[in-house]
Structure 1
């Protein structure tokens, strides 16, 4: 029996949608509004208690630094060039805790409206609920004075996060005082004008020191203001002309500074106090011969006798300075008022030049010491630790004040006591109860630098620069 295969029969049903209905559906889809999307809610401003301090951007040629040196203040102030987000420093920049997004605007009543662009190791949220802020307040000595004057302020501010309806930024330094007197505690006992480079238009302690030098030498007669303006520049130009210095007067450069220091130290020195002629006292003639020898005019014996060699030396000097034309002129060979004035000026100029050369050499040695890293870069006190403390201990050890086997980099009682002993020996302090005893501050730093420089200068004079 043949089996027949059954075929599975499938039937396809096609549903036809009328064109008019399909068109209507498409049209409805096109004109229907899209599904509603919920818009983000902008953040709301809120109030916050702040403890506010200020920081500044150090410059290499300041009169003084909070931590003792330019390098140390650069570290303390986070380089002072740009904020953590890369924004260049400007009035209105603030450092805030990490919970504050960059671009956050903060309104600080009585201070201004600032924007967060920076961070800081100590700029955080305190356990009391108060948040720390640090405001940038300028460059150099003026910025430092402004930061010190700002101090610590407690303010309730309003915070506007990014995306909120932020008010404009507004902060001006005109509302911030910058009394330069606040910098005086950070000065070394003998401020070194050679390390300062005040510029025209600047207001700073450095300018005050420049004006004081010019005043003491008789070139500046206005009140000491600290402003490097036209009067100060004119006074500086007059000094440079008298000492044959060819340097810009728009900034205090090293050669002019060295001459100012040297001239101030010798301003009361004079080689001659009396007229010199035949019959003058032997001691007066002796000084005249010594002065003319120093200036290169006298070659004979330095004694108290008025002789032909002295006459010819005076005559040669007078001719060189257009005081006489020949040996027969009135006053030839005699040191009268005009010749004496010229002699004293020439003598002072040469002495100042020699002293200035020494100062410039010492400055060069100081730069070499800085490059070698032999001197601590910051002020130090008991409890500090690190490479700067080790440098201090080595310096004290090399001078016999610190035990060689105790160099550790930890500033403890042994280091403190050794430092006090050094300070007493160097006459930085008179007794252990004096302010600064046991603290490596500006006076001690200056004294150590001075000793190192002078010791190396002796080496340079004896064996040349290659010896160091």
Structure 2
């Protein structure tokens, strides 16, 4: 990203839309964890979950919110303690109105979130999906406002990354049988890293691509021969390949470092509009704007010369979340993850054998006792079995340790 682009971006904030005229003195400020969602359409060239049928199973058909209101520009999904009709103003984007819910839309303190989680509806079809994925998940300060504010978002300010597939490939789960631009992007990186021939960049995740991913995983020590997950492009594989691509200058990680200036610039622009008559204050504001612009330039130059890693994101991507039961006698990659996790929380001291042996069973049993999941009188059938309650408890502890 060059300086000219940033200057244009900076100028695009001046003057801002009519949303900047909202009197926030009548509103209650609140910081949220914000992400985006969309309404899928048949015959898209790509989906988050491979195809239309799987997409609507994940997100519903996307025609109406939980309130019964048809989807519209400005719809927000919020936790249940936010009444339908609650209006929230975000200076960068506009005003939204709560008309939807969601299983992942929770209050602060749930699922490890430090702030209330909300979702902004970002449109229909591929453009809506691109906006939502490009936006990602951000901490944004907004204002809960009275009912008389006008609802609507400026969708042009939900920027779609110019190299969308190159950037978002690192957050998409891919598996054999899929065919779209995400698969073709994966094949491009496999080719550049020496695991796939150029003529196999077809966009179809067939046996050749599966074997290429499997070879990469084995070389990186992510799995072992014969594992049921070998050849699937999951979180640990994505993170490892992304870091290798960055190290080989095949991919620029700067997109993952959000532009720190956007909120600050918007606050300055609001101040300019409300304090125009005071020349001295205007001069101070302009000085502050120059300081922020210089901060942007310094940040970009720093990223161009020395790309750094976001440690917290790296830990989150490396975290293996357990989603199924595991029991004695099983040998799999999941058992290896379980042994690593139990070692992390101080219950397992053996080697990572990938086999649910007596040592693993004993470690799980002691963990269950300490967490109050079972007691010494519990039916022996569940003692040492890694079932739903044990999974939830261990996942929660691992997330808290991030």
Please, what TM-score do these two structures have when normalized by structure 1? 0.32
**TM-score using structure 2 length:** 0.37
| Larger RCO (CA under 8 A, 6+ residues apart) | 2
